């Protein structure tokens, strides 16, 4: 016996009468729209022509918050990105068109100057025949989770840095401080136990040497204080810093040391014009690297200092390049950023500048590398997280 029952004409008519305009369908569509609009992720559907087909309420909110633009059905998505950003979007869509899902984390500063993190995903939408229908963009606020992860990484980095600092301080105490203290104790012992045997000139020499040792101790204490200041936390003091204006300020500060020299400055900040960072630290980094290039310039040729910004691997790079004396990295590369490390004794210095630069770059969440050869110049490559440069 067959369980398939022959349908009557009334049944067929009832089926044919069902259409998307009846109440059941409208209710189902409304329920689906409610679910999408209350989701914690924003969604935008684009057609193959890259025009908006649909979006949820959260997508509208994020568009206004991130791009300061209102989503409109039928609008081309290029209307919601800068020219530079649109070029990157097209490159991503080329990958998505092949079936690859493209995901990344986006960082920006909202209207309240608060750093926000969003996770973005692009996927291809295909019909039943596996032909491209368009693209699906999802956007989820991950600020809380990202902030926790960044803080955890920062704590780990700080512990490593503090351990390195402790080793440096131990070295200073055991080597740099012990010598002048030992000298003072020895000289005081001479004055205490042999005062009557010393003539006037000898006493004066002993006192002068005591004074010199005390000055050395004072210099070391000042160096330690400078190191501690370089490691001071920078949280809550960030601002948008214009790189060209910062360079102008630094050039004014180093003017005295270049007044009698031919120094040519070249700069290109077109890729990244500003950074959301701590101005005093970035100023110190610029100042020390530029001063270093001036100090170790090649006396036989006019000095040229080039500074350039660029974007690379979702980070900001600052490149400081000069045509100075250069450094033998095979010999000195491992200690280039060490405390009291000097590689050219023909000019005055204490070997603290690059140590301070490395410390401040690290404190800002960045990294620093060096490329150099003797006689051809030096280039420092600084890499920072991209913030407020989308």
Q: List, for residues 54-76, the tens digit of each pLDDT value.
A: 898 888 888 888 778 899 999 99
Kindly report the length of the chain: 390
Q: What is the pLDDT of residue 343?
A: 64
The pLDDT of 351-370, averaged and rounded, is 86
Q: Is the pLDDT of residue 132 over 60?
A: yes
Average pLDDT over residues 286-294: 91
Query: Confidence band (pLDDT; 50, 70, 90) for 300?
Result: confident
Q: With beta carbons less than 8 A apart as the criterion, state whether 292 and 333 touch.
A: no
pLDDT of res. 172: 66
pTM (2 decimals)? Answer: 0.52
pLDDT value for 350: 61
- Taking alpha carbons only, the member of 88, 123, 87 closest to residue 103 is 123
The arithmetic mean of pLDDT across residues 193-206, rounded, is 83
* Residue linked to tokens 């010999």: 331
Query: Secondary structure of the chain: what % helix, strand, coil (to 5)?
Result: 50, 25, 30
pLDDT given at position 281: 87
Q: Given strand 263-268, what is the order of strands in its sheet? A: 263-268, 303-312, 315-322, 377-385, 367-373
């Amino acid at each position: 016996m067959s369980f398939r029952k022959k349908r009557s004409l009334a049944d067929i008519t009832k089926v044919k009468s069902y259409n998307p305009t009846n109440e059941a369908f409208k209710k189902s569509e409304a329920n689906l729209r409610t679910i999408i609009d209350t989701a914690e992720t924003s969604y935008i559907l684009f057609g193959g022509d890259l025009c908006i087909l649909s979006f949820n309420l959260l997508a509208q909110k994020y568009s206004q918050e991130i791009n300061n633009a209102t989503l409109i059905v039928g609008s081309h998505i290029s209307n919601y990105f800068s020219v530079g950003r649109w070029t990157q979007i097209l490159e991503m869509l080329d990958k998505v068109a092949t079936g690859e899902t493209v995901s990344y984390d986006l960082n920006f500063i909202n209207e309240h100057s608060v750093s926000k993190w969003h996770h973005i995903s692009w996927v291809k939408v295909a019909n039943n025949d596996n032909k491209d229908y368009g693209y699906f963009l999802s956007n989820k606020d991950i600020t809380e989770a990202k902030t926790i992860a960044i803080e955890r990484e920062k704590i780990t980095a700080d512990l490593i840095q503090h351990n390195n600092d402790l080793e440096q301080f131990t070295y200073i105490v055991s080597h740099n401080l012990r010598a002048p203290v030992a000298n003072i104790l020895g000289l005081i012992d001479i004055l205490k136990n042999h005062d009557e045997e010393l003539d006037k000139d000898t006493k004066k020499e002993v006192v002068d040497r005591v004074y010199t040792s005390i000055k050395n101790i004072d210099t070391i204490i000042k160096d330690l204080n400078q190191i501690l200041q370089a490691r001071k936390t920078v949280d809550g003091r960030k601002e948008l810093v214009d790189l060209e204006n910062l360079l102008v300020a630094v050039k004014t500060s180093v003017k005295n040391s270049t007044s009698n020299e031919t120094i040519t400055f070249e700069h290109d900040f077109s890729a990244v014009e500003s950074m959301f960072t701590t101005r005093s630290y970035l100023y110190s980094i610029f100042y020390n690297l530029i001063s270093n290039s001036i100090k170790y310039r090649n006396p036989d040729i006019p000095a040229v200092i080039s500074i350039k910004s660029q974007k690379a691997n979702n980070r900001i790079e600052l490149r400081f390049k000069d045509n100075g004396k250069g450094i033998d990295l095979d010999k000195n590369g491992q200690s280039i950023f060490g405390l009291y490390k000097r590689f050219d004794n023909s000019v005055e210095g204490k070997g603290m500048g690059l140590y301070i630069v490395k410390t401040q770059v690290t404190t800002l969440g960045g990294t620093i590398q060096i490329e150099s050869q003797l006689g051809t110049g030096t280039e420092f490559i600084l890499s920072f997280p991209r913030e407020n440069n989308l």
